[in-house]
A = this chain, B = another copy of it.
Amino acid sequence: MMSTLAERIQKQDQRALAKAITMVDNDHPDKLSLLSEISGQEKKAHFIGLTGSPGAGKSSLVDRLITHIRNMDKTVAVIAVDPTSPFSGGALLGDRFRMHKHFADPGVFIRSMATRGSLGGLSRSTKDAIRVCDAFGFDYILIETVGVGQSELDIMKVADTTALVLTPNSGDVLQIFKAGIMEIADVFVINKADLPGVQKLKTQLKEFLHIADPKSWQPPIVETISTEHKGIEAFFEACEAHKKFLNETDAGKQKRKEQLTYEVYELMREELWKDVERFIGDDPSKEIALQKENDPYQLAKEWLSEWREKGGGS
């Protein structure tokens, strides 16, 4: 008897894994049943998100982390979220050639995902791909985002441990603070720590940590120089410490529940929205109204009650 795709993934068939990710990326009709089939069990991997401004060196850090994790005989999947222009619709960077040295290693899986549809955030298919990698049984899943606002805020809803990668020349901490992305960090990484300004940045971060709400987890600050392979172990150990903290306290359980809630809401919203779009798209009179009218509030009200009268997409 033929194995299902879900079964093949759970048996660590790399081709099944790649196929499943392509399915979720292309919004294949069988996507939801596949995802539901693999999502029944316990989560296995530890999800580490890396975010920070463009140019902070996240990709080389990921590369070094892969080597470190492999040296410990653990397996790792990397989901690299590629920026997509809202106009072009395709991934701009494509597969990451710089990681090609890991390609031959069966304990490493690397996949770039486009941000399309989510305007800077983590797309639905990115989240689904992470679930597929988890079902495959990787020990670690690294999620690297482009760091342009929404993605930083999205990543904490997916990652167990979120690392915010800064550089000594990344500008005033106040700017990062203003952007609201400081508070998502479980671990602060100062990469390119051979550049001047490390002490100043550390002092600023500590001031921030001081004024933050006291909570049981105190985000450590680690220094790395990824080009020289320095500080990688310390960074990884900081992630491990946070993992241990999550496992041993209520925080982990709480985080898991929040992530599940967020996912359920998002899936419901997406499904519902498809209905509404179909309802509007299928009716030529809507197109005409959009050309003639000026009042979005009135149109929204009318169309919503019309949609509800017609059974609300059921």
Contact = CB atoms under 8 A, between A and B. Distances in A.
Interface stretch (A7-15, A84-92, A224-232, A234-242): A84-92
**How many copies of this chain?**
2
Interface string A55-77: 10000000000000000000000
A313 B312 CA distance: 8
A268 interface: yes
Contacts of A41: 294
A312 to B, nearest CB: 3
Contact of A312 (B271, B298, B308): B308
B297 A83 contact: no
A121 interface: yes
Interface in A242-301: 257, 260-261, 263-265, 267-269, 271-273, 276-277, 280, 290-291, 293-301
A311 interface: yes
B260 A294 contact: yes
A150 B121 contact: yes
A146 interface: yes
A4 to B, nearest CB: 16
A239 to B, nearest CB: 22
B263 A296 contact: yes
A313 B308 contact: yes
Given A32-B301, A267-B300, A261 B290 contact: yes
A87 B295 contact: no
Size band of the A side of the interface? 35 or more
A5 interface: no
A271 B304 contact: yes
B86 A183 contact: yes
Q: Taking each of A36, A55, A149, A261, which has the highest tally of chain B beta carbons within 10 Å of its own beta carbon?
A: A149
B178 A83 contact: yes
Main secondary structure of the interface of A (DSSP, over half): helix
Contacts of A99: none
A267 B276 CA distance: 12
Interface string A1-43: 0000000000000000000000000000000100110011111
Interface in A163-214: 171-172, 175, 178-184, 213
A93 B261 CA distance: 31
A127 B264 CA distance: 28
A146 B178 contact: yes
A269 B260 contact: no
B171 A264 contact: no
